[in-house]
Amino acid sequence: MPKHQYRVLIADDHPVVRQGIKQILNAIDGIIVTGEAQSGDELLTKVHGGGWDALVMDLNMPGPQGLDLLRQIKRDAPNLPILVLSVHPEDQLAVRLLKAGASGYIAKENAPDELIAAIRKICAGGTYVSASLAETLAEGLRQPADQPPHKRLSDREYQVLLLMGAGQSPTEIATQLYLSIKTISTYRARILDKMQLRSSAQIIQYVIREGLLPDS
């Protein structure tokens, strides 16, 4: 009797990364990569077409991206297990992604070591977080009192915070997120208010100081 093969779709805009993920996954018994996407739009089209048992995706690709892309996928395929790979530090983004419907999260720097365990876990219907992240989450539950200011932000505000912290202008952020410059200005004002900061320069200083940006 033939063994069930879990059909995996991988999405990343870098061919070398896709190839690396593909090699790791195809070496796992019972797992086979049957599709690839290199942009948010291509990924949405392929997800809509169906035929996948799991998705391994990067957050930052051309077109729709980030939490918005994840939510769109979950609306289209609510039962599809999704493993997110990202360059962002896992303790800064993982909780937001899991709440938005991801089944697991791996920082790209840890992917070669954790990818096999993660894909097996989500294909079996579980949720994957690394041991270090699990410890961080447990620590957070034990210390609920004083949260850092950026934890007060909504998902969209946090996304804008990171882009501002990376030195992007309101116009660049608006283009990347498919929003108006006026909307970005509104988010900036909310961020300044919630975090009790006075300027964009202070936002950049805060993001760098707290280590919220991925290492370049």
| Torsion angle of the four alpha carbons 203, 205, 209, 215, in this order, in degrees rounded to the nearest 10 | 90
Please determine, for residue 201, whether its predicted confidence score (pLDDT) is greater than 60.
yes
Identify the band that residue 16 occupies on the pLDDT scale cut at 50, 70 and 90.
Answer: very high
Homologous superfamily (CATH) for 6-139: Response regulator (3.40.50.2300)
Locate CATH 3.40.50.2300 in the chain.
Answer: 6-139
Half-sphere exposure for 15 (CA within 13 Å, toward CB) = 0
pLDDT for the residue numbered 139? 61
pLDDT for the residue numbered 1? 39
Q: What does pTM read for this prediction?
A: 0.67
Identify the band that residue 92 occupies on the pLDDT scale cut at 50, 70 and 90.
Answer: low
Please determine, for residue 216, whether its predicted confidence score (pLDDT) is greater than 60.
no
Distances (CA, A) of 32 to 75, 91, 118, 119, 138: 25, 30, 15, 11, 34
* C-alpha–C-alpha distance, residues 18 and 57, integer Å: 10
CATH number of 149-209: 1.10.10.10
For residue 55, what is the enclosing H or E element?
Answer: strand 54-58
**3-state class (DSSP) for residue 78:** coil
Identify the band that residue 91 occupies on the pLDDT scale cut at 50, 70 and 90.
Answer: low
Q: Considering Cα of 6, then 9, then 15, then 18, what sign does the dihedral take?
A: negative
Please give the residue that has the higher pLDDT: either 140 or 4: 4
pLDDT for the residue numbered 2? 47
Locate CATH 1.10.10.10 in the chain.
Answer: 149-209
pLDDT for the residue numbered 40? 92
Average confidence score pLDDT of the chain: 86
pLDDT for the residue numbered 215? 63
- Per-residue pLDDT of 143-197, as tens digits, reads 545 678 898 888 888 999 999 999 999 999 999 998 889 889 888 988 988 888 8
